[in-house]
Amino acid sequence: MDYYRILGVKPNCTLEEVRRRYRLLARRHHPDLNPDDPEAAARFRLIVAAFEAIQVARAEAKGRSRRNAAHYRQPRFTGKEQVFEEFFGICQDGSPLSWSAGADFRYDLEISLVAAIKGMGTVIQVDHQPPCRPCGGTGLAVGAAYQECPDCQGRGRRFGGPGLLRFGPVCERCRGRGKIVAVPCRHCGGLGRRSHQKEYHLRIPPGTQDSARFRIMGEGGEGFLHGPRGNLLVVIHVAPHDFFTRVGNDIHCRVEVSFAEAARGCAIRIPTLDGYQWVNLPRGAPTGWSCRFIGAGAPGTPTQPPGDQVNEVMVATPQNLSLQQRSLLRELDRLEPGQLDRAGHE
């Protein structure tokens, strides 16, 4: 992209000529001064981007010239410079910072176990800070321009003395941009963005596991120095269920029956994700007796088969028995297993 052509200046003009032309075009195309022109904001952003790109390109060229001259005067400790730049975010020369992608946003969504297994559609609202439309995302008031940061002299980093003392952190005042907003936009206070609630329609697929993540590309934070936006990560949290527990694609549950029901055997009704199923409990079923409902768990995947529902019987021990009940149990205890079997069929 020919940034000089966008501003209408020659490539060999001075930086001050570029600044004067930028101020003229920025005032002419500022969205506040063109409320009836829907394309004004786009033109204004393009003008600002062109001005920033020229500033960065010239600063890089100036930094390269300094480094080339210094190359013949002193050796370069490439390894040491790389360590300081990677771990402390600082560099030895005054070259401007490069662009970087925006931060990822995270949204934690809690859903029920039934919704995770069956799937669901939902709508979430996420707080966004899109570019301020009146100023085109620049943070500048009408007719204003960026000013060089006085703390770092436009380098984006603060520097000290010679040698290793020249290493400095990212400038806190301008946050590495090398420029500041001296006259802020009255709509966003110079931030260049405004808070906004944005809705997203999500489809949670059947069989979603706890801690699953869904990525919405380009819906995160703004990039640094025109870098790409980050992403929105939706993290799923499956709430515990009162009756079911998920293990892989299977769901487990415990069904309580009375001592009498387990002793004589009976038909019991067991809840499922789709209603109820009846099961014939055999006579004398102990605690831990189980049965399966094939395919009644979570749906399968290309690498995993569908799950089942595993039902475990828990025999309740009688409590606070009456005199008659205790008498019956003593009578039952005196009976031999064979006698009990014959008594049950009399």
Confidence of residue 207 (pLDDT cuts 50, 70, 90): very high
Per-residue pLDDT band for 3 (boundaries 50, 70, 90) equals: confident
Whole-number pLDDT of residue 337: 56
Tokens coding 139 = 């943070």
Report pLDDT for 63. 62
Angle at 304 between CA 301 and CA 307, to 5 degrees: 95
Q: Give me the pLDDT at residue 291, please.
A: 96
pLDDT score recorded for residue 65: 61
Q: Summarize pLDDT for 148-164 with one digit per residue, the tens.
A: 888 888 877 776 555 44
pLDDT of residue 81: 43
pLDDT at 95 over 60: no
Q: What is the mean pLDDT of residues 52-66?
A: 73
Whether 222 contacts 279, CB under 8 Å:
no
Q: Which of 84-93, 146-155, 207-216 has the lowest mean pLDDT?
A: 84-93
For 189-203, what is the mean pLDDT? 88
* Phi and psi at residue 213, to the nearest 5°: -125, 135
The pLDDT tens digits for 236-263 are: 999 999 999 999 999 999 999 998 899 8
Would you list the DSSP string of 153-214?
TTSSB---SSGGGG--PBPTTTTTSSEE-SSB-TTTTTSSB--EEEEEEEEE-TTPPTT-EE
What does the pLDDT read at residue 346? 39
pTM for the structure as a whole: 0.56
Lowest mean per-residue pLDDT among 36-45, 72-81, 102-111, 273-282 = 72-81
Model confidence at 69, pLDDT cuts 50, 70, 90, reads: low
Q: What is the pLDDT of residue 168?
A: 64
Residue 19, pLDDT above cutoff 60:
yes
pLDDT value of residue 122? 95
Going along the chain from its start, the domains and CATH numbers come out as 3-98+147-180 (1.10.287.110), 245-315 (2.60.260.20)
Residue 175 has pLDDT above 90, yes or no: no
**pLDDT, tens only, 223-232:** 766 678 889 9
Mean pLDDT of the chain: 80
Q: What is the pLDDT of residue 165?
A: 46
Q: For residue 30, what pLDDT is reported?
A: 80
Half-sphere exposure of 134 toward its Cβ, with a 13 Å CA cutoff?
Answer: 16
SS3 89: coil
| Residue 18, C-beta contacts closer than 8 angstroms, at least 6 positions apart | 7, 9, 51, 54, 55
What does the pLDDT average to over 303-322? 88
Question: Worst-scoring range by mean pLDDT, 22-26, 272-276, 312-316, 324-328?
Answer: 324-328
Q: What is the mean pLDDT of residues 106-130?
A: 93
Q: How many other C-beta atoms are found inside a 10 Å radius of the C-beta of residue 27?
A: 15
3-state SS record for 274-327: CEEEEEEECCCCCCCCEEEECCCCCCCECCECCCCEEEEEEECCCCCCCHHHHH
At 133 the pLDDT is 83
Q: What percent of the chain has pLDDT over 70?
A: 80
Report angle CA 156, 161, 164 to the nearest 5 degrees. Answer: 85
Q: Which of 34-38, 51-55, 83-87, 238-242 has the highest mean pLDDT?
A: 238-242
| Range 31-58 average pLDDT | 78
